[in-house]
Amino acid sequence: MKLNIEGLLVYFPYDYIYPEQYSYMLELKRTLDAKGHGVLEMPSGTGKTISLLSLIIAYQRAFPLEVTKLIYCSRTVPEIEKVIEELRKLMEFYSKETGESNNFLALALSSRKNLCIHPEVSSLRFGKEVDGKCHSLTASYIRAQRHSNPNLPVCRFYEEFDAVGRQVPLPPGVYNLDDLKDFGRRKGWCPYYLARYSILHANIVVYSYHYLLDPKIADLVSKELAKKSVVVFDEAHNIDNVCIDSMSVNITRRTLDRCQNNVDTLQNTIHKIKETDAAKLREEYRRLVEGLKEANVARETDIYLANPVLPDEILQEAVPGTIRTAEHFVGFLRRFLEYLKSRLRVQHVVQESAPQFLKDIFDKVCIDRKPLRFCAERLQSLLRTLEIADIADFSAVTLISNFATLVSTYSQGFTIIIEPFEDRTPTIANPVLHFSCMDPSIAIKPVFQRFQSVIITSGTLSPLDIYPRILDFRPVTMASFTMTLARTCLCPLIVGRGNDQVALSSKFETREDFAVIRNYGNLLLEMSAIVPDGIVAFFTSYVYMENIVASWYEQGILENIQRNKLIFIETQDAAETSMALEKYQEACENGRGAILLSVARGKVSEGIDFVHHFGRAVIMFGVPYVYTQSRILKARLEYLRDQFQIRENDFLTFDAMRHAAQCVGRAIRGKTDYGLMIFADKRYARADKRGKLPRWIQEHINDGSLNLTVDEAVQLAKHFLRQMAQPFRQEDQLGLSLLTLEQLQSEEMLQKITQIAHQT
Amino acid sequence: MASLSEEVLLVVKKVRQRKQDGTLYLMAERIAWGPEGKDRFTVSHLYADIRCQKISPDGKAKVQLQLVLHTGESTTFHFANESSALKDREAAKELLQQLLPKFKKKANKELEEKNRMLQEDPVLFQLYKDLVVSQVISAEEFWANRLGGVNNTDPTLFNNKQEVGISGAFLADIRPQTDGCNGLRYNLTADIIESIFRTYPAVKQKYSENVPHNLTEKEFWTRFFQSHYFHRDRINTGTQDIFSECAKQDEKGLKSLVVQGVKNPLVDLLSLEDKTLDEGYGVSTTQPSTSNANRTVKESSNYAIIKRFNHHSAMVLAAGSRKGETPADQASETSSTDGNSRDSDFFQPPVKKVKLQEAIEYEDLQRENRPKTVALNLKKSDRYAHGPVPLQSQQYTTSQDIINSVNYIRHEMANYKPNLTQVVSSTAASSAIVALSPGGVLMQAGAQQAINQMVPSEVQGELKHLYVAAGELLRHFWSCFPVNTPFLEEKVIKMKSNLERFQMTKLCPFQDKIQRQYLSTNLTGHLEEMLQTAYNKFHIWQTRRMMRKT
C-alpha cells in the first residue's frame, strides 16, 4: 500500500498495516526532518524493521540530497540477513508499483569468515584464523614482495578484484551475503573486499555494530562513509555494553609471556634486516621524522593494524624521537612490558585511574605519556616495515601497545583494576589487569557527532530516558509504542509464592534454600503438564542453573518433568548448545514438546527467537541481576553515579529488567503468536521493578496477577491457553490491530494512532 | 487328564486358586490349573493370551503369582506349600519368563493385521461378511488380494501406522524400592528394556556381547544399575565397569553430533556473532575455564548431569524418529560427505533461505493469496447432483453468449405462432408425455434420484452392500486381464464361477425380495449389466482360447 506520512509518499510492501507501524513511521519521519537522533521502542514482532526501511527509503528517494545513505546496524548475522531479505521484499514492491527498476544499491557486510570464497581460507573454522590467513595472502607488503618473488601464494580473488573490481561499481540491487558470494564467484572477485569497497557508494549498508563502534574496525571500514547518513542501531538494548567492550583491555600473565616472545621475535627480525637491508629501516626512520602518515594506498587489507583510539584522538604529529628507531622502540616495549609484569606481581587488589597509572609508570621506569600515545601507531609502522606475514601471532604485543595508547589518551572514563586472583579461587594466583571503559558514551560519541541522524531502537528499551543519559546525547524524539491487540496474546504472570506460601525469590539469602528450589521445580513441572509444545526457562546465571538442575535431579523433579516433555539445557559450549537448540526445536516440531533451560544474558537469550510453538511459555526464574561483586561493575556504578547522577540501584535494576524483558520477549513474535510470560520472583511485583518493564508488557500485568501461587498461576495459564487455542483469523484483527488503507485514513483512527506513541 | 498328549513342562502342587487347592501345570502352549481330586482344568490360558505376570513382593506372607491377560482379566495363584512356596513360585515364574516372550512374538502378526483392518474399515468388514462368511470366496482369496494389494500398491498407507515413540522418562519409571535390608530393587519390564535398548544402542551392544556368555541377564542389569552410567551424577571412577565404554561411546556420539553442526543457520550460536572481540579485549567476566582441572567435584558432577540430560533427550528424540528418517539421513549424509561444511555451502542456501523467509513473514499483514471466491449456496443439493445435464457440451462460453441466446429464445417465443396444421397426432403426443413423465422410458435417469424416496432404507443398504461386494468380485475378475499366465487363467475361471455363485446366492434372492415388495426390478439392472459384461468378456476370452487350442 502507499501511505502518506505527513506529506511523504511511503511504499509499504503489505496490504495491511499495524497502527503502531504507522505511528512509528510518523515519529521516525519527524526525527529525520529534524536531522536529530531518536530513541524508539516498539514491541518485537510488530514489523519494526520493515517500517524503518520503508520510511527511510522513501525519505531517501524524496530528498536525495538530505539523506544519502542508510547504515543499518544489527547484532547477529541472521539478523543482518533478515534485514536484507525484508529490504529485498520492499525493493520488489517498489519496482512492481513504479514499474521501473530503481537504482538502489543495498548490501550486507560481514566478516571474512562469512564472505570468503577462497577454497583454502574459507574452510577454516574460526573467524580469527580466516582473517589471519587472508591477511597473509593479501597484505600490502606481501603483495609487494610478490613482485620480486612470484612463487609466493596468492589469493586470485583479491588480485582479480584489485585489478578490475574497482572500476565497475556493483550493479544496483539487493545483495545478501550469499548473493555477494555468488557474484564474487561469477566474477572471480573477492566478495569481502568488493563489499567493503561498495559500501562507500551503496545507498543502504547493513552490518554489525562493531563496524561502527569498535574504533579498531571502524577506522578501517567505516571511515569514509558520508556524513549525511542515517544510522540505525536495531536491537540496541545492549548498545552500552558493546561500546564498553570495544574500548576495554584485559592483560593476564599469559598475555605478557606471549608478548615477551613477540618482542624477542621483533628484536631478532630487526637484527636480521639490519644485516641485509638496513636501508629499509632508515627509510622508515626518515618517514617517521617527517611525521608523514602512511599514504592510504593499498592499506585496506592491513586489518590488524588499526588504531584503538577514536579518530579525533589520533595525533597528527610526528612520532616522538625516543621511539623513532626500531631498536629504541623495541627497547621501549621491553621496558613497558617489564613494568606491567611488576604491576601484576601484586598481592592485593589495586584500583587506580589512568593519570595515576601514568604517573606511576613515569616514576618507576621513566616512560613519558607522549611515546605511549604513539605506541600503537609506531608498532603498526614497524610491523609493516618488517614485512611480517602472520600478524595473528603478534596479537599480544598489539594488545599491549593498544593498551598503552588507550591509557595515555583518555584520562577520564576508564579505570585500571589489578586483581591478583579470582574471587572464587583465592588460593590460585591468576593476576589480571583490567583496563576497563566505564563510559559507553566515549565509543559512540563520534557516531553521534558525525552522522546527522542516529536512531536507537529495540523491542525493549524501557525506561527510555536512561539511554540518552548513559550514551550522552540529546535525542529529538523519544517514544515507546504499545502493541495494539485484537486479543490479549501475551499473559504476564508474577508468581511470588509456592503452594506452601514460601516466598519465591532468587535473591542471595534464599538462593540455596531447598524450599525455594523445590517450588521452582514444581512450577516448571506443573507448567510442563499444561503448556503445549515448547517451554523456555531462564535462570539468572549459569552457576545458579547448574545448582538448581543438580538439586532438581536429586529430588526427582526432572524425572517427573521428563514424563511430560524432553529436557534440553544450555551449556557453556556454544556448539553443544546449538545442537541442544536444534533438538529442542525438533522436539517442538514433532509434537513431543520440550523444555529448554537457559541463562539470561547467555547467547540463547540474546540471539534466538522462540516463535509460535517453539515458545508457548517463558519462565524467568529470579531477577537476572548482574554479578554485583565484580570490581569492574562497582567502578562503573560509581562512575555512573558521579558523572550521570544515576543511582547504583537504579542502574542495576534497569539492567536486570532489560535482560528479563529480553528473555520473556523472545516468545512473542507477532500478533498471531501467543505466549505465557512467567516471572517467578516476588520482587517483580514491586513497582520499581515492574515499572521498568517495557510498556507493552507492563500494561497487561493486572493487579490480580502480581503475587500468585504456583496453583493460581497454573489456573490462569490454563484459561489463557484455552482461549488462545481458538482459531484467530484476519477478520478478527481488522480495524483493531490491523488496518487497511481506508481504515487508516479515517479521522477516528488517526486520532487513536496518536495515542499509541507514548512520549516521554 | 484331559490332554496328556501335551508336553508338561512343570507341575506344581499345592497351588490355591480361589481358595481351592489344586495343581498348576505349565505345558508347552498353555498354563492350566485343576482343583485337587478332579481330572479337568478349571483354569486354562494359552501363553499367547497372557499379557504379563506379576509376583507378590518378597516380604509378603502370601506367595502369589498373577497372570494378566490381554483381555484385562487376571488370575491369581497362591503357592501354598509351606516349605517350598517361594521356590515353587520362582520356578514357575522363571519358566513363564522364558515362555511368554516366545509366544508374544509368535502371536500371529498377520491375524492381528487383518483384525485391525476389519475393525478400522466397516466397508471392508461388510464385504468380508458378504463374501467370505457367506462362502462366496474363500478367506485366503479375500485376503490374498487385499493384503497384497495394500502392501504392493501403497506401502506408505501400510506403514503409516505411527511408530510409538519412547517416553522421555522411562528411566524414571524404574523406581527403586528398598527391600528392607539395605538393598534396592528395580522392576524392569520388557518395555523398559526395549526403551533402554532403543535409546542407548551402546547398552544393547554390551548386552548382546555379554549376555549370556559372561553374565546372566540379572547380573547384567544389576551392573547396569550400579554403574555410574545409570547414575548420571556420578563421575566416571571405575574402569572395570563394563559400561564405562558405553559412556565413552556416548561421549563420542555427542561430540560427533556437535561437530556435525546444525542445519538451521538461525540456531547456530557459533556463527551468530559477526565479529567477536579479539582475545584480551572487552570487559571480561572471567569465564570459568572449561578445563576440568580447576573444577570442583560438585561442579563437574553438575556438568555431567547437564550433559547427560541433553544427551538423553537427544537420544530419545532420535530413537523416536530413527525409522522414518533414514532416507532423509542419507540425503543429508551425501551432502555432508561432499566435503567439509564450507564446501556444502551450495546445499545450504535453500534451508537458509526458507528459514529466513519464514522469519520475516508477517502472515496477517498479507492479503490471503487465494483469489476471492463466492461460496456456492445450494438449496437442494441433490438437484445439483442429478440435474439435467447437457448431452453434448455446448459452446456457451461467455455470459454474453448466454444472454444473447436467452434473448433470442425470448424473441422466438414472443413471435411464436402455432402452426395448427402440422401438430402431432394425439396418440403420439400422449405417448410422448408418458415417456417424459416420471417412470417413463425417457425419464429413467430420474428414477435414481427418486430411489431414496421409493425404496425403504434397509433395501437401500442391502443394495449398497451388493454393489460393494459385486464391485470387489468384479475387481478381482477384471484384474486377471490380460490373461497371460496359467495362474491367471485358473483364477479367471474361478472368478467367473464366483461371480455366478454371487449372482445365484446373493443377487437373485435380492431380486426376488424386491419383487415381492413390488419395487421396480430395474434397481438391480445395473448390477446385472455389469455382471453380464463380465460374462461376455469371459466368453469372448474362452472362445478365443478354444480357437487357439484347436
Q: What is the pLDDT of residues B406-435, one digit of tens each?
A: 889 888 888 887 776 677 778 888 888 888
Size of interface A-B (CB pairs under 8 A): 238
* Yes or no, beta carbons of A572 and B277 under 8 Å apart: no
Residue A710 in this model has a pLDDT that exceeds 80: yes
Residue A190 in this model has a pLDDT that exceeds 80: yes
Chain B residue numbers with beta carbons less than 8 Å from the beta carbon of A396 are 280
| Three cell numbers written together for A455 | 536512531
Q: What is the pLDDT of residue A599?
A: 94
Chain A residue numbers with beta carbons less than 8 Å from the beta carbon of B275 are 111, 127, 208, 210-211, 214, 217
* Separation between Cα atoms, residue B196 and residue B175, nearest integer Å: 15
Residue to test with chain A: of B177, B250, B313, most A Cβ within 10 A: B313
Please report, rounded to a whole number, the percentage of residues in chain B having pLDDT higher than 90: 0
Phi, psi of A367 (to 5 degrees): -100, 130
* Yes or no, beta carbons of A214 and B359 under 8 Å apart: no
* Separation between Cα atoms, residue A568 and residue A27, nearest integer Å: 42
Give me Rg for the CA atoms of chain B: 38
Interface of A with B in 339-368 (CB under 8 A): none
Report the predicted TM-score, pTM, of the whole model to 2 decimal places. 0.73
- Mean of the per-residue pLDDT values of chain A: 88
User: Domain map of chain A by residue range?
Assistant: 247-439, 490-727
Reported confidence tier of residue B241, pLDDT bands at 50, 70, 90: low
Contacts of A222 (CB under 8 A, 6+ apart): A71, A199, A211, A212
The alpha carbon of residue A184 is apart from the nearest alpha carbon of chain B, in Å, by 14
Q: What is the pLDDT of residue B346?
A: 46
For cell 536507537, the residue is A456
| Three cell numbers written together for A3 | 501511505
Residue B290 in this model has a pLDDT that exceeds 50: no
Burial B61-83 (b: 16+ CB within 10 A, else e): eebbbebeeeeeeebebbbbbee
Contacts of A516 (CB under 8 A, 6+ apart): A498, A502, A503, A504, A505, A506, A510
Q: What is the pLDDT of residue B548?
A: 80
Q: What is the pLDDT of residue B467?
A: 86
Q: What is the pLDDT of residue B432?
A: 84
* Yes or no, beta carbons of B274 and A208 under 8 Å apart: yes
Per-residue pLDDT tens over the stretch B489-534: 888 888 888 888 888 888 888 888 888 877 665 777 888 888 888 8
The alpha carbon of residue A63 is apart from the nearest alpha carbon of chain B, in Å, by 28
Residue A338 in this model has a pLDDT that exceeds 90: yes
Closest residue in A to B340 (Cα) is A123
Average pLDDT over residues A297-307: 50
Interface of A with B in 270-289 (CB under 8 A): none
Residue B379 in this model has a pLDDT that exceeds 90: no
E strand or H helix that includes residue B155? helix B155-159
E strand or H helix that includes residue A534? strand A534-539
Residue B298 in this model has a pLDDT that exceeds 80: no
CA dihedral B160→B162→B163→B165, nearest 10 degrees, is 150
Residue B266: closest CA among A423, A3, A80, A241 = A80
Q: What is the pLDDT of residue A581?
A: 92
CATH of domain A490-727: 3.40.50.300
> How far from B115 is each of A311, B72, B119, B121, CA to CA, in Å?
82, 19, 6, 10
- In which region does residue A719 sit, left (phi positive, over 0), alpha (psi from -120 to 50) or beta (all else)? alpha
Q: What is the pLDDT of residue B44?
A: 84
Reported confidence tier of residue B437, pLDDT bands at 50, 70, 90: confident
Asked if B277 is an interface residue toward chain A (Cβ–Cβ < 8 A), one would say yes
Interface of B with A in 312-341 (CB under 8 A): 313-314, 316-317, 320-321, 340
CA dihedral A28→A32→A37→A42, nearest 10 degrees, is 10
The lowest-confidence range among A146-155, A580-589, B453-462 is B453-462
B234/A325: higher pLDDT: A325
The alpha carbon of residue A510 is apart from the nearest alpha carbon of chain B, in Å, by 20
Contact (CB, 8 A) for A517 and A523: no
Chain A residue numbers with beta carbons less than 8 Å from the beta carbon of B283 are 241, 244-245, 248, 434, 436-437, 632
Reported confidence tier of residue B277, pLDDT bands at 50, 70, 90: low
Q: What is the pLDDT of residue B149?
A: 44
Per-residue pLDDT tens over the stretch A352-392: 999 999 999 999 999 988 889 888 888 888 887 887 766 66
Reported confidence tier of residue A422, pLDDT bands at 50, 70, 90: confident
* Yes or no, beta carbons of B261 and A578 under 8 Å apart: yes
Question: What is the pairing mode between strands A708-709 and A490-497?
Answer: parallel
* Yes or no, beta carbons of A585 and B264 under 8 Å apart: yes
CATH of domain B8-109: 2.30.29.30
Of B276, B307, B317, the CB nearest to A127: B276
**Is the peptide bond between B482 and the residue preceding it cis, with omega within 30 degrees of 0?**
yes
Q: What is the pLDDT of residue A679?
A: 95
Interface confidence (ipTM) of the complex: 0.85
User: Domain map of chain B by residue range?
Assistant: 8-109, 177-247, 454-549
Chain A residue numbers with beta carbons less than 8 Å from the beta carbon of B317 are 566, 583, 586-587, 590, 592
Interface of A with B in 626-655 (CB under 8 A): 627, 630, 632
Reported confidence tier of residue B371, pLDDT bands at 50, 70, 90: low
Under DSSP, is residue A569 helix (H, G, I), strand (E, B) or coil? strand
The number of CA neighbours under 13 Å toward the Cβ of A338 is 9
Reported confidence tier of residue A109, pLDDT bands at 50, 70, 90: very high
Of A111, A248, A564, the CB nearest to B281: A248
* Separation between Cα atoms, residue B243 and residue B240, nearest integer Å: 9
| Three cell numbers written together for B205 | 551392544
For cell 424473441, the residue is B411
Contacts of A606 (CB under 8 A, 6+ apart): A75, A238, A662
The lowest-confidence range among A42-56, A695-709, B498-512, B513-527 is B513-527
Residue B540: closest CA among B475, B508, B496 = B496
* Yes or no, beta carbons of B267 and A581 under 8 Å apart: yes
Residue A715 in this model has a pLDDT that exceeds 90: yes
Burial of B264 (0-12, 13-18, 19+ CB in 10 A): middle
Average pLDDT over residues B9-25: 83
* A642 secondary structure, DSSP code: H
